[in-house]
Chain A
Amino acid sequence: MSDVFIQSIVVFVLASFVGFEVIRRVPPTLHTPLMSGANAISGITIVGAIIAAATGTGWAAGVLGFLAVTFAMINVVGGFLVTDRMLEMFKKLPGSRK
């Protein structure tokens, strides 16, 4: 295995643990926004999609790249917007500003 790959595994494992520790206790009220916000973050694959679309050659790569960018953008834009819409409604949450 290459060094780069091993390094990536280290990052993956550590990030997973950070995820577990950061999110472990979420009040039920926030379960939906958390899921929807996390879902938008999984749209980070947009970076890979843009690279694939921009550097691909041939029609097959072009089609796959276009689909990847389109799908990832739906996920990112839709996900963050709808999460914000939801959280905007949670006006009466304790401590939040009215």
Chain B
Amino acid sequence: MTELAYLSAGVLFILGLKGLTSPKTARRGNQLAALGMLVATVVVVTDLLSLDEAVAWGIVIAGVLVGGTIGAFLAIRVQMTSMPELVAAFNGFGGGASAFVAAAAIVATTGDFPTETAVTTALSLVIGAVTLTGSFIAYAKLQGLISGKPVAMGGAVTNGIIAAIAVALAIVGIVTGEPLAYWGAAIVAGVLGVVGVIGIGGADMPVVISLLNSLSGIAAAMAGFVINNQALIVGGALVGAAGLILTIEMSVAMNRSLGNILFSGFGGGAAAEDIGTKPVKRATADDVAIALGYAERVIVVPGYGLAVAQAQHAVRDLAAGLEARDVEVLYAIHPVAGRMPGHMNVLLAEADIDYEKLLDLDHANPLFSQTDVVLIVGANDVVNPSAKTDENSPIYGMPILDVDEAATAIVVKRSLSPGFAGIDNPLFYDESTLMFFGDAKKALEDTLAALERF
């Protein structure tokens, strides 16, 4: 009976994920998955109630109350602009929970696991620990607690050596059953999460978060092997697959291999030294308002800077002002714009911008040559033409939004400093580009005010 009830939870997870793949059914899908979780929880509690032995309900209830309160508080309080941080943090908690489940199994055992259980315990522990620390470093980077720039700590070789030590300790634990070896493996794996993620630049975060998401699922599935529970195995495997698909999609969108993203310390190189010395065309709010107000079609290209400045509502207001003057306003969204997959879509949805006006890369690029003005708000690397022209550029080959084909490009940006990738952007020095320096939110509000004066 218990197994069948867990099966129904697994089915609800599958239906839920299926629902999340289509806009029409997404909300229902999420609710179905939550229902599956409730079913699984009720089943395990019922199962424990039927045991004859004493059960430490106090600990369970304390954990449920503390964790549930913290989770609900974070979910309700978060700003939409901080979503990547929160997803990273939740992910870390999930991975950590799986590691603790494995650790509890090690403490509970009398010494001899069957080999296969020992292997899955070690995997759950190690993968969970990497997910825990890696996610919190990603959180700290996104939150600005530590530098978003890649911090070189030795690169691929160091990571490889640390990973090898973790695996070696885990093998010692599996063979000898010595708990200390397992704890050593967990600690070294935790170090690997720190060193691995700290060496990855902010612009690569969409890939890292997707990968950590996948790992948290695999850790849960491994914990399922440890305690022989099909619900954990099914749920964990589904999440592992989902995360992997997103990871691959993000890597493709950057035209780089996963290995390259994880180990190259991308963007750590010295920024081009002539940044700021080449002439650019500066624009004022009035210039921008005139260019936009007399255009037929404007395409907005949002980037991470829009999230930082919380400028999504200002974009919507400016667009409404333009539409009132019969200017067509569309939005072009690069797959890796922002710090997690779909980051920009969430922000624009929050500002009530019509989904139909959001174009992906393939649909936006043919339109730029027939567009009067492209308004680039806080995006940089995803519109950098050197990805097409400069074979020596670190981002050469990455598909970009071809904003240079539009009649005029207006770049709203705080300063000329390069993006997270640390690469100079030739677009800024182009004849047909106007640079509008300032905070994105204020710049857009000033532009709207200027527009209303004309």
Q: Which A residues are closer than 8 A to B by beta carbons?
A: 1-2, 4-5, 8, 11-13, 15-20, 22-58, 60-62, 64-96
Contact, CB under 8 Å: A42 / B220: yes
Kindly list chain A residues whose C-beta atoms are within 8 Å of the C-beta of B343: 32
Question: B94's closest neighbor in chain A, by CB?
Answer: A75
Answer yes or no: B175 CB below 8 A from chain A CBs: no
Q: Which B residues are closer than 8 A to A by beta carbons?
A: 9-10, 13-14, 16-18, 20-24, 26-27, 29-31, 33-34, 36-37, 40-41, 43-45, 48, 51, 53, 55-57, 59-60, 62-64, 66-68, 70-72, 74-76, 78, 80, 83, 86-87, 90-91, 93-98, 100-101, 103-105, 107-108, 114, 116-117, 209-210, 213, 216-217, 219-221, 223-246, 249, 333, 335, 340-343, 345-346, 349-350, 352-356, 358, 360
| CB < 8 Å neighbour of A78 from B75, B228, B341, B346 | B75
Q: Is chain A's interface secondary structure helix, strand, loop, or mixed overall?
A: helix
Kindly list chain A residues whose C-beta atoms are within 8 Å of the C-beta of B70: 70, 73-74, 78
Question: B6's closest neighbor in chain A, by CB?
Answer: A47
With A53-B63, A88-B27 as contacts: A48 and B226 at CB distance below 8 Å: yes
Bound CA–CA A27/B139 (angstroms): 25
Contact, CB under 8 Å: A92 / B354: yes
Bound CA–CA A49/B62 (angstroms): 12
| CB < 8 Å neighbour of A79 from B80, B90, B235 | B90
Bound CA–CA A56/B36 (angstroms): 26
Kindly list chain B residues whose C-beta atoms are within 8 Å of the C-beta of A77: 67-68, 71-72, 75
Bound CA–CA A42/B114 (angstroms): 26
Kindly list chain A residues whose C-beta atoms are within 8 Å of the C-beta of B220: 42-45, 48
The 9 closest A-B pairs by CB, nearest first: A73-B67, A69-B63, A19-B241, A31-B342, A78-B71, A44-B235, A77-B71, A31-B341, A93-B23
| CB < 8 Å neighbour of A71 from B29, B97, B104 | B97
| CB < 8 Å neighbour of B40 from A18, A44, A93 | A44
Contact, CB under 8 Å: B346 / A86: yes
Bound CA–CA A78/B244 (angstroms): 22
With A62-B56, A87-B27 as contacts: A68 and B97 at CB distance below 8 Å: yes
| CB < 8 Å neighbour of A70 from B63, B221, B227 | B63
Contact, CB under 8 Å: B98 / A39: no
Identify 7 residue pairs between A and B in the complex whose beta-carbon atoms are under 8 Å apart, listed by A's number.
Answer: A23-B245, A31-B342, A34-B242, A39-B94, A72-B67, A81-B75, A88-B27
Identify which of A41, A62, A68 gathers the most chain B CB atoms within 10 Å of its CB.
Answer: A41
Contact, CB under 8 Å: A49 / B68: no
Contact, CB under 8 Å: B238 / A18: yes
Contact, CB under 8 Å: B55 / A73: no
Bound CA–CA A49/B9 (angstroms): 17
Contact, CB under 8 Å: B342 / A32: yes
Contact, CB under 8 Å: A8 / B67: no
With A19-B238, A87-B30 as contacts: A69 and B60 at CB distance below 8 Å: yes
With A77-B68, A90-B26 as contacts: A8 and B87 at CB distance below 8 Å: no
Kindly list chain B residues whose C-beta atoms are within 8 Å of the C-beta of A91: 349, 352
